[in-house]
A and B are shown apart, each in its own frame.
Chain A
Amino acid sequence: MSTNVSAIETPQSAAPAWTETLHEWVTTVDHKRLGILYILYGLGFLVMAGIEALIIRIQLMHAHSSFVSPQVFNRMFTMHGTTMIFFVVMPILFGFANYLVPLMIGARDMAFPRLNAFSFWLTALGGLLLYFSFLGGNGLYGAGNAPDVGWWAYAPLGAKAFSPGHSTGYWTIALLVSGFGSVGTAINIIATVLCMRCPGMHLGRMPLLAWLNFVMSGMVLIAITPLTAAQMMLLVDRYLGGHFFDTQAGGSATLWMHFFWIFGHPEVYILVIPAFAFMSEIIPVFSRKPIFGYPVMVGATVGIGFISMSVWAHHMFTVGMNSYANSFFAITTMAVGVPTGIKIFNWLGTMWGGRIQFKTPMLFSIGFLFQFLIAGLTGIIQSSVPVDWQLSLSYFVVAHFHYVIVGGILFAVFAAFYYWYPKFTGRMFSERLGKWHFWLFVIGFHMTFDVMHVPGILGMPRRIYTYEPRPGWETLNLIVTIGAFIQAAAILLFVYNLVVSYWKGAKAGNDPWDAWTLEWSVSSPPPAYNFATIPVVASRRPLWDQKHPEDPDSRYE
């Protein structure tokens, strides 16, 4: 297979000057380079937001701590939450989508390469604006501060009266701008998937990664935009004297909550669906079987997309909705468990009867399955409204969502990193360090987030900068903090592995995993134009057909 690779490898020339390289990267419209920019940008912010998390954890290590002031603590969790959601996970997932979708559907680029670059730079600008608030929030004379309103900025706390200065303004504009970037990328992915597929790849043959990112992009269109609209209203309030969320002038605080969560809930599925997409590519390859129930997987994803548009108020069970509204949002929320369960079962079905190879990407995938299961079930516990009256706004919720986001999404992202690293760089990473990273992160993760459920049950609310020494709280919080540091060590190991393998790793070749989708048919890294000849496919696993001409998939589909 790899004999012909050299034919399309870019010719090795003298290394260009670094300014030239920089210029090339800044002005690039190549989907692969933009993908990598997204990913590096997200990783940079992961370290920032991670350091903020560590500051939170140090402060909460013991009772009556005075490591940081309450004001700083409140800024830390606001910035940590906002950064992690909007400037870590979103960019990394968009980065992978950018890089992989065109390759997997046999296209030479995205549908609108320049829009693609524009969207990336909007997102980048958003993140920079958010962090500029550290300097400009109070004006330079006030020495600056970051927003401290929480990542939901509930009204009226986000209003000028309660958040004077410009820090909340920076927060608002940052999310507005990066929201435009996300919508741009979503439009691009939709157009790419619908209009750029190679011959033979009708929708029923598209790799699940492309399908799921397509669904995710559809959700972005209708779920990010409510946030955009709400942020516009908040700007009108803050800078034009409007009263949308001004409770003194008859404005409604709950309206903001509704608007925020109409965005916020679908948002978490926007984050998790690309993670599902990684699983749907990686698990089959390392189980050596095709995905179990492809059409059902597609259907379940679309189902999750639809149901998740009607569940938002499960974040508002404590705001005093009447019993009918509460019951409605309980049943819709529980209903999401059905299509999600179908997906879990189909991944299990894929592994069942396979020959599972425990390479690093697969280890992270198994971690994902296990942890996402638990996280989903704690979600179900919270969806039982009266139970949530106790659990809401407590550390149990914090544990639930870190379980999904770290135990689920971050594990899936790590799996994707290890799986596609050879394709991105042409080098293999160190499998040994990868396993170290996995086990260390598993230990750190469980120490942090398993334990974190318990303070919630013991009555510890979230977003408190310090606490009284109540029974159990101190010990538990200490364990949680230690876990967070173990996670940090594991992430350092991961970054080290990425960096060192880039130069020292073994050459990967086109197809190190013996995989089946089109990206593995081209050289690693792929040439700028991806495919010298646009491929023609006849099944969901074109490379399987090629490797097993005696038993092609096209016979069964």
Chain B
Amino acid sequence: MNMRHRHNSAIRCALSFLALFFCAAAAAAPVSSTNIFAPASTPARTIVGLSHFVIAVTAVIFAVVASLLVYSVVKFRARATDAGREPAQVYGSTQIELAWTVIPVLIIIVLFLATARIIHAIQDAPKPAAALDVTVIGHQFWWEFRYPKLGIVTANELHIPVSDPAHPTPTFLKLLSADTDHSFWVPELGGKTDLIPNRVNEMWLDPERPGIYLGQCAQYCGTQHGKMLLRVSVDRPADFAAWVSAQQQAAVQDPKVLAGKHVFETTSCINCHSISGTAANGRFGPDLAHLMSRSTLASGAAENTPANLRLWIQNPDAIKPGSLMPAMKLSDGDLDAVTAYLETLR
């Protein structure tokens, strides 16, 4: 499946020399967390293989044609000794025309076959029984994740298990949208696929290593498209199981913050948010039942600290201007109480 095996050393040589332009990426920033040339999942890795091949082919074409261009510019420049005479007038040549038609045709056939193979390998991959299903719903401007078989609803930070090649547990994502078009893109794990209202799309990931993988919404979806960030936490099987069982618990009911809970339940918060075990069952905003299990707020717009949380509830525009959560105009006391309450939702 992996295209890298095709390279011979000559192409590699040309590649490293000429494709410097494209690959400067990898060189400039080896630690990048969103570099498409740092794959950590089969789809991404396969694509890198294909990219190397396509870049190599185009680099060779570039080298040949650019050399011809440079050569003719240098060789055939007008000189003082020409004395205004005209060069031989040549009108064309059928053989040559034929040659530079046929060769490109052959090249694109090769490129196409390589491409079609990878399209098939990624798009038509069978779904193993052990696969995890997640439904991803794009909202202006945050992500909703639902695990239908596990009964979990969360937001903005996707947790999936590492997939051991011996016993693959890939994650199959079902992509939907609640409003405008969005696109799910975590470069290290795979290419992007759009989330389109009235339509069901699919993609899959099988991460090789645990860690945090960053990405963000790639399809322009409105004002705050720029801060619709995405975080995927790839967990070891045990960690994943622990996370799942924590998420399956009902929201914490801490008697110490009843005041805050009361404010929450009597404000319009409940129209847009849900917290299990309370009156809140809105779906317009993220589920908050386990808010504290997330390390960021509002789709990665800010770190999840008490100060930021308070600021967010006070005035979301201060963090994410144009987000669809209104400033709730709570009194300072209510604000503190609600923040304290939300702080308990582990």
Q: Which positions in A face B, CB cutoff 8 Å?
A: 69-71, 73-74, 148, 150, 154-157, 162, 247-248, 250-254, 287-290, 292-296, 318-320, 322-323, 326-327, 330-331, 334-335, 337-338, 341-342, 344-346, 348-349, 351-358, 366, 369-370, 373-374, 377-378, 380-381, 383-394, 450, 453-454, 457-468, 470-472, 476, 548, 551, 553, 556-557
Contact present for A157 and B220 (CB under 8 Å): yes
Please give the distance in Å from A181's CB to the nearest CB on chain B.
Answer: 28
Contact B217 A461 (CB under 8 A): yes
Contact A471 B119 (CB under 8 A): no
Name 19 extra pairs, CB < 8 A, besides A323-B123, A351-B72, A461-B185: A162-B222, A254-B199, A289-B87, A293-B91, A293-B92, A320-B194, A348-B65, A370-B69, A381-B22, A386-B43, A391-B36, A393-B219, A457-B23, A458-B25, A459-B32, A459-B36, A466-B227, A468-B300, A476-B28
As a 0/1 sequence over residues 218 to 247 of chain B, the CB contacts with chain A under 8 angstroms (1 = contact) are 111111111101000000000000000000
Q: Which of A162, A296, A355, A356 is close to B179, meaning CB atoms less than 8 Å apart?
A: A162
Check A459 against B215 for contact (C-beta < 8 Å). yes
Write the nearest CB–CB distance from B48 to chain A, whole angstroms.
Answer: 9
Q: For A463, what are the chain B residues with a Cβ–Cβ distance below 8 Å?
A: 220, 225-226
Q: What residues of chain B lie closer than 8 Å to A320, measured between beta carbons? A: 175, 193-194, 196, 199, 201-202
Q: Nearest chain-B residue to A335 (Cβ)?
A: B108
Tell me the minimal C-beta distance from B308 to chain A in angstroms. Answer: 15
**B88 to nearest A CB, angstroms?**
6
B191 to chain A, nearest CB (A): 2
Beta-carbon contact of B97 and A296 below 8 Å: yes
Interface centre among B58, B96, B192, B220 (most CB of A within 10 A): B220
Contact with A along B76-108 (1 / 0, CB 8 A): 111100100011111111001100110011001
Chain A residues with CB under 8 A of B201 = 319-320
Given A288-B86, A373-B62, A453-B21, answer yes or no on A356-B76 (Cβ-Cβ < 8 Å): yes
Complex: A119 Cα to B44 Cα, angstroms: 49
A selection of 21 A-B contacts at a CB cut-off of 8 Å is A70-B223, A156-B181, A156-B197, A157-B180, A248-B197, A253-B196, A292-B92, A293-B93, A295-B92, A330-B112, A344-B65, A348-B69, A354-B76, A355-B79, A380-B58, A387-B50, A393-B185, A457-B26, A458-B29, A459-B36, A463-B225
Contact A355 B78 (CB under 8 A): yes
B293 at the binding interface (Cβ < 8 Å): no
Chain B residue with minimal CB distance to A295?
A: B92
CB-based contact A294/B92 at 8 Å: yes
**Chain A residue contacts of B222, Cβ below 8 A:** 74, 157, 162
> Within the complex, which residue of A251, A252, A385, A471 is in contact with B29, where a contact is CB–CB below 8 Å?
A471
Residues from chain A with a CB closer than 8 A to the CB of B225 are 74, 463-465
Interface hits, B34-54 → A, CB 8 Å: 34-37, 43-44, 46-47, 50-51, 54
Complex Cα distance, B54 from A381, in Å, reads 6
Q: Is B152 an interface residue (CB 8 A)?
A: no
Residues of A contacting B108 in the complex (Cβ-Cβ under 8 angstroms)? 331, 334-335, 337-338
- Are B35 and A323 touching (Cβ within 8 A)? no
Whether B181 contacts A461 by the Cβ 8 Å rule is no
B78 / chain A contacts, CB cutoff of 8 Å:
288, 355-358
Is the C-beta of B73 less than 8 angstroms from some C-beta in chain A? yes
B2, CB-defined interface residue at 8 Å:
no
List chain B residues, Cβ under 8 A from A155: 181
Q: Let me know if A373 and B123 touch, CB within 8 A.
A: no
Most chain B CB within 10 A, of A74, A248, A556, is at A74
- A29: shortest Cβ distance to chain B, in Å? 38
CB of B11 to closest CB in A, whole Å = 15
